Structure 1
Amino acid sequence: MKTIYLAGGCFWGVEEYFQRTKGILDTSVGYVNSKKENPTYEEVCSGRTKAAEGVSLSYDENIISLKEILNHFYRIIDPFSLNRQKMDIGTQYRTGLYYTNEEEKLEFEQFLKEKQKLEKRKIVIEVEPLENFYLGEEYHQRYLQKNPNGYCHIRLPEKE
């Protein structure tokens, strides 16, 4: 089992999308690279923490590869929007890939380099070291499963 950390706008939809993806074993939503220890949702929304809404994905690399996860991620976000996804605007909604080792960093960078060759506009997905990941409040975990009609900025696949 391996774990990847990413940010793709509002974490509710990103988590639910990957909950429905074969090979993803577990997900958690939280705050990535916060300047404040254990921030609250309200503090993250204020922009003062510099945190992004993020998702931790644990996956079985025998079922789904890191590159496949990155392809899914790229499909569900707008890689050209800085600090926003659809109607969600603010630095907490930026897109990012957060590495925990040099191998991951190189894979993230190579993936985005390949994607950029196919695009005319500049991709603005940040690639940064994972400094921290603080779990979001319990009501945010599996939010769209608890609230099936809740807001989601991405198109979700049918449940398997």
Structure 2
Amino acid sequence: MTLNEFKKLAQERSVTLELFWRFGKTEFDPWLRGPRRILAVRSYGFDLELLTTEGLRDPTQKTSALRVEYASLFDLSGDILSIYKSGSRPATEDEQEALDDWDAKVAQDPNLTAWAQKNYFRTFVSAKKKPDGRRRGYEYLIKDRRGEIDPETGRELIFDRSFRGDLALQYRVIT
């Protein structure tokens, strides 16, 4: 079931979630324990009811947010709902070309400024894309670069918010 299908289901009928795994732990604060109903479906995910405010900084709080910002980070198999953290993926050919070319420029002139780097990635045109003259911004590579190499592809790893990384949360779905 996709995220949109699950959201539609949660709007049509009562759905309850029970947290049983959170970042490698199975023991939680009191406010996270027990089956909790989905009270609202939001663009960013869901609002879950709070059964207790014990352990919360704000005792007047009525709901907690279950954020699922990208459908690729959502998985529902049977009655187990899994939410993943964002992860790193191998660079595309164009991204790797941009990174390698920048590294070569830095090797020639180690005194290049941050503005030079920003301008380089903003205006980089890959060898493949040169014939059509279109540019694509690669500024995200400045902060999302990981410096690690994927052993399978030999390409550098790039952080991508919509790429599925490690498991973050698991809930049992009760309808």
Q: Which TM class, normalised by the smaller chain length?
A: under 0.3
Q: State the structure with bigger RCO (CA 8 A, min sep 6), 1 or 2.
A: 1
User: What TM-score comes out, normalization by structure 1 length?
Assistant: 0.25
Please state which structure has a larger fraction of its residues in strand.
Answer: 2
User: What TM-score comes out, normalization by structure 2 length?
Assistant: 0.24
